Structures are given as structure tokens and as C-alpha cells.
Structure 1
Amino acid sequence: MKFQMKEGGFTTEFPYGRLDVSSDEAYGFRPYQLMVASIAVCSGGVLRKILAKQRMEVEDIQIEANVERNKEEADRIEKIEVHFLIKGKNLKEEKLKKAMDLTRKNCSMVQSVVPAIEVIETFEMIPAE
């Protein structure tokens, strides 16, 4: 990856499009937002694959992420809570718990930051109509 300085931050080009990064939201995504998004979406992608392999009927997955930062230590990220809202038919809590454990073990972004950042993953089942 190559980043080029621009007013208020840095930019780079990827095959999918341009990414602007800045400590000021007026100029791009903030670095901590990208870190949290990477962890949440990596986990979501891994979970999606695991549920498909288990032949669980999932219609939708939404992810809510919360972050705790320490202002005393350069505003570092200390904790990220990732909550999955899983909508599907015939969902089984025990199978989902096992899928969550596998997700944690196989998400490269989570494994890259633990134990420096506490990552807590939870889920909620939503019955499909």
C-alpha cells in the first residue's frame, strides 16, 4: 500500500476505490474507525462463512460495534465490543455459540490485536418471518 499526503490527511487507491484517512473527519475516515471496522467486518465475514458451512439458514447479519479509548494513553483503543444480530430460521443457540468461538479463532484482525485490545463478541438471534 502506498499513501499520499493531502490536505488534512492521507489518501490511497485500491481496486475498489479511493480511501481517505485523517484524524479530522472532515477529511476522511479516522484511523480508529478503520481499526474497529476491520475487526467487526472480518469477524462478520468469518462468521458468515462458518454459518454457511454449518447449513444454518441465515437471512441477515447486522453488526454493532462499540469502542473504548484511553485518553490518558494517546487515545489508544482498549476495548472493542462487537455484537451480531443474526436473523434466520431454526437458529440454535448452542450452534451459534460454537460458531462464535470458531469466528474468534479464525478472524485474522481479532487475532492480530488480542491481547493488546480486549475484543468482546456477543450475539442475538432474531427469528425470520
Structure 2
Amino acid sequence: MKATVKWVDNAMFLGESGSGHAVVMDGPEDHGGRNMGVRPMEMLLLGLGGCTSFDVMSILTKQRQKVVDCVADIEAERADAVPSVFTKIHVNFTVTGHNLKESLVERAVALSAEKYCSASIMLEQGGVEITHSFNVVEAE
């Protein structure tokens, strides 16, 4: 896996993944940026959310659950000192569907957290406390 990050100007960078997709990262104005892109640490949270969401949806699809929506809300705390690393991350899934089995949603979230999500497992090994919760909503 490869990626390239190119400096554009001030605190703005253009990241390109090995698969050819690009994203703009920029800092806030008080750090020399123009606030025109995602912050790098926000990218880490988005990556974690994408990784675990991919797992949960893959597992629920294999279990033939009729999911119509899946949203992962992620909240994180960072250390006050430099480096300002993540200390705690909480991921709450809201899974909406038809006749979803709560036990299967719970199992999918647990499997992602404990076995499949490379991003969250890597962060936990680095000392980040990661917790998960979920809500099941019946689709109209």
C-alpha cells in the first residue's frame, strides 16, 4: 500500500492514495491554513470509521440482514500535551433496516472491534482506549 502527500501552500496538502483517489488536507487559519480541507487527525478518525463501518456492513450483508442505512458517529479525546495523540475514541453505530436482529448487529460490531478492523486494533495497540456502542432502528 502506498500514498503520496504533496505540499500545496501554507498548511494545505494534497493526499493521493495508491488507488488514485485524492483528498485535500488543510489547517485552521490560526495555524497558517485556510480551513479548506480535512485536518490530518480528522483523517485518522475518518479512516477508523470507514474501516469499522466496512466490516460491520460486510458482516451484516453476509448474515442476510436487510440494512438500509448505517452511520458511525465517532467522538475522540486527545492529549493536552504535544504530541496531541488520541487517548479515547468512541464509535456509535446507528444501523437502520427491516427486521434486524439486534444480536447480529451486536456481533458484527464486536467482530469488527476485536478481530477485523485493522485501524482500531492498531490504534488500541498504541494505547488508545476505543469503545463501541450501537442502536438498531426499524426502517419505515
TM value normalised by structure 1: 0.89
Partner SS state of residue 2, structure 1 = strand
Counterpart among 91, 112, 117 of residue 128 in structure 2: 117
TM value normalised by structure 2: 0.82
Shift of 1:64: 0.9
Gaps of 5+ in 2: 29-33
Moved more, 11-20 or 83-92: 11-20
Shift of 1:75: 2.0
Q: What aligned pairs does 1:58-77 form with structure 2 within 5 A after superposition?
A: 58-77=67-86
Amino acid at match of 2:131: I
Partners of 1:106 and 1:13 lie apart in 2 by 25
Runs in 1 of length 4+ with deviation above 4 angstroms? none
Q: What aligned pairs does 1:1-129 form with structure 2 within 5 A after superposition?
A: 1-7=3-9, 8-14=11-17, 15=19, 17-24=21-28, 26-104=35-113, 105-115=115-125, 116-129=127-140
Percent of counterpart pairs with the same letter?
Answer: 26
Which structure is richer in relative contact order (CA contacts within 8 A, separation 6 or more)? 1
Gaps of 5+ in 1: none
Amino acid at match of 1:114: E
Partners of 1:68 and 1:87 lie apart in 2 by 27
Computed over aligned residues only, the root mean square deviation of the Cα atoms, in angstroms, reads: 1.7
Shift of 1:23: 3.3
Partners of 1:66 and 1:99 lie apart in 2 by 20
Partner SS state of residue 29, structure 1 = coil
Shift of 1:16: 5.1
Shift of 1:72: 2.4
Shift of 1:27: 4.2
Q: Figure out how many residues of one structure are paired with residues of the other and give that number.
A: 129
Partners of 2:53 and 2:84 lie apart in 1 by 26
Moved more, 99-108 or 48-57: 99-108
Shift of 1:20: 2.1
Amino acid at match of 1:72: A
Shift of 1:32: 1.1
